[in-house]
Amino acid sequence: MARYVLKRDPSAVPDKLTRYAAELNEEQLRVVTAKPGASLVIAGAGSGKTRAITYRVAYLLEHGVSPQRILLATFTNRASREMLRRVEGLTGSQNVHRVWGGTFHRIANLILRRHATSIGFDSNYTILDSEDARDLITICIDDAAIDTKRRRFPKSEVIQSIISFANNTDRTIEDVVLRQYPHFELLISQIDRVDRVYRTRKIERNLMDYDDLLIHWKRLLVEKPAIADLYSEQIQHILVDEYQDTNRLQAEIIDLLAVKHRNVMVVGDDAQSIFAWRGAEFTNIYEFPKRYPEAVTFKLETNYRSTPEILALANTSIAGNRKQFPKALNAVRRSRDTKPALVACSDVEQQSVFVASRILELRDEGTSLEEMAVIYRSHYHSIELQLELTRRGIPYRVQSGVRFFEQAHIKDVISYLRIVVNPRDELAWKRVLKMIPGVGNATATRVYEQMMQLAPAEIGDKDGGRAITEGLVKIAANFRMKSPWHKFIVLMEMLVKPELRGSPAKQIELILTHGYEEYLLENYENAESRLEDLKGLALFASRYSSTEDLLGELALLSTERFKEPQPLVGEEVIEGAGEDELLTLTSVHQAKGLEWKSVFIISAAEGKFPSPRSLREIDSEEEERRLWYVALTRAKDELYITYPLLVTDFNRQSVLQKPSRFITECPAELFEVWNLEEEASVPDAPFEIGGKTQEYLN
């Protein structure tokens, strides 16, 4: 094949290049103007990495690289569109849309549409969304002739998670099950059979799920040399954003595409690699210099987001990790003479009171609720705070989209308690009954109607517990119910005992140990996280002396009107429009990539942050410290770190808590310690910072 190199008139290079030095800092300019070759860009939090990537693409275009020879891989299509829009503004080029830009899955789809026939698909294949994929897996479970009733088999959602994790991490089904789902060890051969049927069914019906887009893209590059040569030759420059979040499959695809030119620039922050649980491979960024020995490493360490005091804490915290590319964020912003506040609270209630009080003060001082966030390691840490915010009328959103008590597993367990308190609660009965294997809508309706007929008067009495158990026994005989039904009766017999009505925490424990924990494992792909939530719910319930009191408190949350801003409707015009601004409550994972003026990190105690569950695996502590670093670096102006000194266990005993190791491993002078004092009334004097005692109303 003959090659002809285009020679351009140097005078044709736009004058815009002369602006780069003025519009970029020195670190960014070195990245943007780097010579062709492999480059690793370690971009610290708030260091302007998006700006660097955008200008790099513009720089390549303005130096004569054709747009169709550039691949820009991002983790959202919106990020790619925004970058390319800015590139168009910088270059004035009308051909920027010809850049291979978007998520890995989008680019994979563009390529596979051209070459699907090479790997056994038609070019008009259908892409299954997650829900469609689950439905197909359900069909495949039936096709695999698995007796799901003889031995309770995981639901399609769990099977989907196992298969997806295996695909994205290049592991076998057996390896994934043994490492992450050991309770399904005896079912490995059956799960593997479902996977084989699922793969065959997709090929037969010309279907691909999201993972297949990457799997078959890699297949093209490995199994079809002519196609691989075409793209490795055409794609001259590769840029990958958020490289620390790539999985093994994505990194292998990039390596296959870069095999000829080796002009691959990966941008990310090893200190913000926090998604190992969903398949992200930390070693992709950490070992990049091993795969590309010629790679030049750049560091973006100039931070435009946070104050020097916040960055001093973040730098010191992340220094505790052994596996990392050392760097130190340097603040552009001036000091506000305010260190991160460290607030030890007597218990979780006082923690919630402090956070809510301080939020109201900041709001009065001019900081919008939209500019504030509360960050936590696990969702259940926000239980008490959500109640306190509701009592005070502070509107909020949960970044995950689902408030704690609205989650399916929480509502499942609370439904048992609702039956104990009100045995006529039809919705609670039907929700609980449908968790019994083999019970669907029709059976649940029949059972509930039978219950009401068997004991119409007694069922509502205070001694309704006896009527419940007697009724269930009769129905079991009438319907010839099998083993799972009898387990349910045993559980209900325990829950309705009068002595347990004063201990909702014990009731929740019984629900977990008598079937619901097993139900979680079989029905939810993130069962361990949900189980952690439920144990947190039990601890929360331990402070209530009756099940009725607990449910009454939770009912507060159901009366909220706080929602995302919506178009006005007639009723709202009369009643008054919804709140314009909302406080954000978010887990650390959901907070990544976001920023707020004022940030509260709550429950920063050992056993809470870091999560004890995460510390069971090798290298988990370092990932937990990276999570901590991400939480710290979300704050722009003010940072408050709180932890309760005492927690109540299931037996209503107070247990002393230590502050998180991530606090104690940092010098005390990096914090400003705030002492809380209870007072009978709101203090008349204005709040003072700077080491003086802060007083709050409980």
**What secondary structure, in 3-state letters, does 230-283 show?**
HHHHHCCEEEECCHHHCEHHHHHHHHHHCCCCCCEEEEECHHHCCCHHHCECHH
What pLDDT, on a 0 to 100 scale, did the predictor assign at position 68?
Answer: 92
What pLDDT, on a 0 to 100 scale, did the predictor assign at position 195?
Answer: 93
What pLDDT, on a 0 to 100 scale, did the predictor assign at position 601?
Answer: 97
Query: Are the C-beta atoms of 111 and 217 separated by less than 8 Å?
Result: yes
Tell me how far apart the alpha carbons of residues 324 and 271 are, in angstroms, rounded to a whole number: 7
What pLDDT, on a 0 to 100 scale, did the predictor assign at position 214?
Answer: 93
Tell me how far apart the alpha carbons of residues 639 and 671 are, in angstroms, rounded to a whole number: 10
What pLDDT, on a 0 to 100 scale, did the predictor assign at position 351?
Answer: 95
Tell me how far apart the alpha carbons of residues 69 and 238 are, in angstroms, rounded to a whole number: 9
Closest CA to 24 of 57, 51, 62, 63: 51
In sequence order, the 6+-apart residues with CB closer than 8 A to the CB of 84 are 57, 72, 96, 97, 99, 101
Residues of the chain with pLDDT under 70: 1-18, 148-151, 400-402, 454-467, 470, 476-483, 556-580, 616-618, 649-653, 679-698
| pTM (2 d.p.) | 0.81
What pLDDT, on a 0 to 100 scale, did the predictor assign at position 310?
Answer: 96
Tell me how far apart the alpha carbons of residues 274 and 82 are, in angstroms, rounded to a whole number: 24
What pLDDT, on a 0 to 100 scale, did the predictor assign at position 482?
Answer: 63
What pLDDT, on a 0 to 100 scale, did the predictor assign at position 636?
Answer: 96
What pLDDT, on a 0 to 100 scale, did the predictor assign at position 524?
Answer: 82
The DSSP call for residue 605 is B
Instruction: For 312-347, give one letter per residue: b (16+ CB within 10 A) or e.
Output: bbbbebbbbbeebbebebebebeeeeebbbbbbbbb
What pLDDT, on a 0 to 100 scale, did the predictor assign at position 692?
Answer: 35
Pairing of strands 676-679, 694-697: parallel
Both tokens of 593, joined, read: 């990539």
